[in-house]
Amino acid sequence: MKAKTFGFLLILLIVFTVKAEAQLYIHSNLAYSNIRNDISIENKEALLGYNYGISIQYYPFRNTEKLSLINELNISRKGYRQKFGEEYEFKFNYLSFPVVFDYSLSDNVSFQTGLEPSWMIDSNVEEWKDTYNKFDLALIFGASFFNQKRWSLYTRFTYGVLPMLDYHEIDDLGNFKDEAHDLKNISVAVGIKINIGNEKISIK
C-alpha cells in the first residue's frame, strides 16, 4: 500500500512539476509480429498485428528542447502462427503503457527508445490465462518523421524481454523436463500519428 502511495505521489510530482507544452496524438500501426524462442516451435511464422492508441508528448527537461517524453496508452495485437497443413494462429491482445524518450535530430526526424509494460487482456487461445503470463515488458526502438506536421509517420521495433510462457516440456517417454521460460514477443511496426492538439500541462 505504501509503495502504491509512493508511486502515485511520484507520478504526481513528475507530472505537476513539469512546465511544458504537450502534444496530443492518436496513432495506429500495422505490425509484423512474431516470437523469439529457445525451445523448438515448428513451422513458426509471423502474424500481422496492429496497435492503436493515444499519446502525449511533452518536454520535461530544461535546456534540452530536443529531448522529450512520450506516454502512450495502447491496445495492441501480437502473436504468431504455426502451419501444419492446417494453420494455427496465436493472437494476444495487450493493453500497454509505453514510456518513450524522443530525441529530435531535426524538425522532421526523431529517434525514440523506451519501455513498454503490457498486460495481456485477451487471446484467441483457449484458457490463455492459465497458459501465458499476463504481464509483458518490451524494449522499444523507433523513429518518427514529419513530427511538426499534423499527420506524421513512425516506425517501431518492439523487443520483448520477459517470457510469455513458463512451461514444462514433455519428452518422448512422458517425463517432464526442467521448466522452460520462453517465448518472447517481437514486432516491427509502421504507422501514422495525428496531432489532435497542443496542450499546456505545466503546473508549478
Residues that bind another protein (CB under 8 A): 39-42, 82, 84, 88, 90, 125-127, 130-132, 165, 167-176, 183
Rounded-to-integer distance, Cα 53 and Cα 51, Å: 7
Q: Which is nearer to another protein, 124 or 198 (CB)?
A: 124
The nearest distance, CB 36 to another protein, in angstroms, is 14
Toward another protein, which CB reaches closer, 125 or 162?
125
User: What minimum distance in Å lies between the beta carbon of 190 and another protein?
Assistant: 29
* C-beta of 115 vs 125, nearer to another protein: 125
Identity of the residue, 71 or 82, whose beta carbon is nearer to another protein in the bound complex: 82
CB of 167 to another protein, least distance (A): 6
What's the min distance (Å) between Cβ of 86 and another protein? 8
